[in-house]
Amino acid sequence: MNSPTTDTPDGLRPWYRLRATLLGLATWLGLAAWLGLAAWLASSAAHALEVQTARLDAVWQFPQRTAPAQVVARNESRLSAEVAGTVQRWSADVGTSVRQGDVLVQIDPRDYELAVQRADAALAAAQARLQLSQAQLQRAQTLVQQGFFSREALTQRETEVTLLQAELRAAELQRDTARRQLARTTVRAPFSGMVVQRTVQLGEAVAPGTALLTLAQTQASEVQASLPAHDMEGLRRATQITFQLSGQTDHWSLQLLRVIATVDPGSRTQRVRLGWTTHATLPPGSSGVLSWSEPTPHIPTSLIVRRGKALGVFLHQGGVARFVPLPDAQEGRATRTTLPADSLIVIRGQAALSDGQRID
């Protein structure tokens, strides 16, 4: 039995030849296209990318920092009564400016004046007794020399004089204490300033420790501000710090006095105190803005790019782009740099670069 033939019919042979020709042509065209793409990629890789560079010291900047600040009194004391009594007189009310030593409050002194008088009387009595005992001692010494007085009796007179001298000293101390208590009935300003609060009224009875008023020192004010921890180093090294009142154009020069070591857990800031470099001071309570320039050069944020997890810049080194990480860099913030001033930094085209890429 004969098997079926597998030969192509004569009418279809031209079609199959055309299809084979077209398939071969497509294969050759695809190979040519692939070879052309590969050549283009190789040419691109060999071609150096054109970028723009500049010396680092031509583009770095010294950022101007600002922070809200307030003028505060160096001393703001709550003056309290040191003795019991009745408020007899006020010499300075809220808003009154006073000088050091001025009388602010007078507490009724009558009871303390009587105590001083009693102490003076006790002191006079002790002095009289001592004078009598000293005269008796002198007489006894004379009688002993004449043989009319015993040595034992003389020792007793000497002891009496010693005891009366101690009593006299105690009486003097009692008098001094009474005088101090009398002096405490007059409350005086411990420094020049302004009365900012009064807490008791005329005729009110007070006891030791009762708050009478609050006095703020006006001649030795300071400026206080709260700054982020990362700004502290720049403020410490700043050569010029100024303070400007809100809504005004005048500036006052300041110097850093103290930095509070503790960090506020909520705001993550530290407080600083600054003093005036001139004799001119502002009244406590005034608010404004603290300004200073960073003394360390910073790289502008526009030149900083991210590669992987690191932020840094590209430098031109021998025709090759080198990525230099900046450990302290933060997104959207100029970053301190210790790179040499003559470093060639890429200022245009850095976004498309990769480390080690050839550049022109």
Residues 250 and 280 in one domain: yes
Query: Is residue 39 scored above 90 in pLDDT?
Result: no
Last residue of a domain, one of 263, 293, 323: 293
Position 6 in a domain: no
Whether residue 27 has pLDDT greater than 80: no
SS (H, E, C) 305-328: EEECCEEEEEEEECCEEEEEECCC
Query: Is 100 inside a domain boundary?
Result: no
Above 70 in pLDDT, residue 2? no
Cα 103 to Cα 60, 146, 188, 195, 338: the distances in Å are 59, 63, 4, 12, 60
Residue 16: pLDDT over 60: no
CATH number at residue 115: 1.10.287
**113 and 175 Cβ atoms separated by less than 8 Å:** no
Do 231 and 259 lie in a common domain? yes
User: Confidence band (pLDDT; 50, 70, 90) for 40?
Assistant: very low
> Which strand (E) or helix (H) includes residue 165?
helix 151-183
Q: With 70 as the cut, is the pLDDT of residue 64 above it?
A: yes
pLDDT higher than threshold 90 for residue 318: no
pLDDT of residue 323: 94
Neighbours of 349 (CB within 10 A): 16
* CB-neighbour burial class of residue 56 (10 A; exposed 0-12, middle 13-18, buried 19+): buried
Residue 348 carries which side chain, given as an amino acid letter?
A: R
When pLDDT is averaged across residues 254-266 and rounded to a whole number, the result is: 89
pLDDT score of 155: 84
Model confidence at 20: pLDDT above 80? no
Q: 293, 314, 334: which is the final residue of a domain?
A: 293
- Is 60 exceeded by the pLDDT of residue 118? yes
Model pLDDT, residue 23: 63
Q: What is the pLDDT of residue 5?
A: 46
CA atoms within 13 A on the CB side of 113: 5
Looking up tokens 């030849």, which residue turns up? 17
Give percent of the chain with pLDDT exceeding 70.
86
Same domain, 113 and 138: yes
pLDDT mean over 43-69: 81
Structural domain includes residue 179: yes
Q: How many domains does the chain have?
A: 3
Mean pLDDT score of the chain, rounded to an integer? 85
Indicate whether 209 belongs to any domain: no
Question: What is the arithmetic mean of pLDDT over 68-94?
Answer: 92
Q: What are 142-154's pLDDT values in tens digits?
A: 887 777 777 778 7
Q: How far apart are CA 194 and CA 1, in angstroms?
A: 132
**Residue 175 within a domain:** yes
Q: Are residues 113 and 180 in the same domain?
A: yes
pLDDT value for 42: 47
Q: Do 244 and 229 share a domain, yes or no?
A: yes
pLDDT digits (tens, 9 = 90+) for 263-286: 888 888 999 999 988 876 788 888
Q: Is the pLDDT of residue 348 over 60?
A: yes
Q: What mean pLDDT do residues 172-178 have? A: 96
Judge if 287 and 309 occupy the same domain: no
228 lies in the same domain as 285: yes
Q: Residue 26: pLDDT band by 50, 70, 90 thresholds? A: low
Same domain for 262 and 323? no
Query: 49 or 312, which is more confident?
Result: 312
121-141 average pLDDT score: 89
Query: Residue 212 falls within a domain, yes or no?
Result: no
The owner of tokens 């010396």 is 55
pLDDT at residue 17, rounded to an integer: 62
Residue 283 contacts residue 70 (beta carbons within 8 Å) = no
Task: Assess whether 245 and 259 both reside in one domain.
Answer: yes
Q: Residue 165's domain spans which residues?
A: 109-184
- What are the angstrom distances between the C-alpha of 126 and each of 91, 115, 167, 304? 39, 17, 6, 89
Picking from 252, 270, 293, the residue at the C-terminal end of a domain is 293
Convert the pLDDT of each residue in 185-243 to its tens digit. Answer: 999 999 998 999 999 999 999 999 999 999 998 877 899 999 988 888 889 988 899 99
Q: Which residue has the tokens 């002095």?
A: 127
- Within-domain flag for 302: yes
**Residue 73: pLDDT above 80?**
yes
25-39, 164-178, 316-330: least confident range: 25-39
